[in-house]
Amino acid sequence: MFKIAVLVSGGGSNLQSIIDTISTSKVGYEISCVIADRECYGIERAKKNNIETKIFDRKILKKDISKKIDEYLGNRVNLVVLAGFLSILDEEFINKRRRRIINIHPSLLPKFGGPGMFGMRIHRAVMEAKEFESGCTVHYVDAGIDTGEIIEQKKVKIEVDDTAETLQKKILVEEHKLLPKAIRKLMKIN
């Protein structure tokens, strides 16, 4: 069985999309554990589904967080999925798992990525730039921020009456389809 670890920092709706996909179709992969860098609803979602959870508090661990997650994971998973995980993993962690860490980002990378670009900030920046479209991207994680090779991308049209809030909701619907699709793709080639 192809095993994944899902890393979260917030609501965990993307985690939920993976849980739902696993429970409704024979995907051939399973979630071994859910890791968070703070108390968050994502951890509650995992617990409700009897998935092993672990919190590594970023405020306490600071730069040691990557090392602690690395020790905890060892070689037990085939893929690490960053699903709204906001801590930055260090180069040692990333280099050890080349092409085995992916991230979902709510914009059409390389646009609206990089340091400080997370959550609502991205959608506000997209609206301020008067873009006609946005979307979401699943990409490999490399040593940069949001710079890794793109695996899957989905465009979302921006309508005249859209706000940053409505755009976020529309993109999240697409994220929930794109992330399970990308995991399945990687499972097949690994």
List residues binding ligand GAR (CB under 6 A): 8, 10-14, 42, 83-84, 104-106, 118-119, 172, 175
**Looking at residue 159, what DSSP letter applies?**
P
**DSSP-based three-state secondary structure for 43:** helix
Q: Whose Cβ is closer to ligand GAR: residue 12's or residue 148's?
A: 12
Q: Which of 38, 36, 127 is nearest to 83 (CA)?
A: 36
Q: Whose Cβ is closer to ligand GAR: residue 8's or residue 46's?
A: 8
**Considering the complex, what minimum distance in angstroms separates the CB of residue 121 from ligand GAR?**
8
**Considering the complex, what minimum distance in angstroms separates the CB of residue 74 from ligand GAR?**
25
Which residues 6+ apart lie within 8 Å of 105 measured at CB? 113, 117, 122, 136, 137, 138, 139, 146
Q: Whose Cβ is closer to ligand GAR: residue 71's or residue 114's?
A: 114
**Considering the complex, what minimum distance in angstroms separates the CB of residue 102 from ligand GAR?**
12
**Of 105, 123, 139, 176, catalytic:** 105
Q: Whose Cβ is closer to ligand GAR: residue 106's or residue 148's?
A: 106
Instruction: Confirm whether 105 is a catalytic residue.
Output: yes
**Looking at residue 126, what DSSP letter applies?**
H
CB atoms near residue 9 (< 10 Å): 21
d(CA 41, CA 143): 28
**Considering the complex, what minimum distance in angstroms separates the CB of residue 187 from ligand GAR?**
20
**Which residues participate in catalysis according to the annotation?**
105
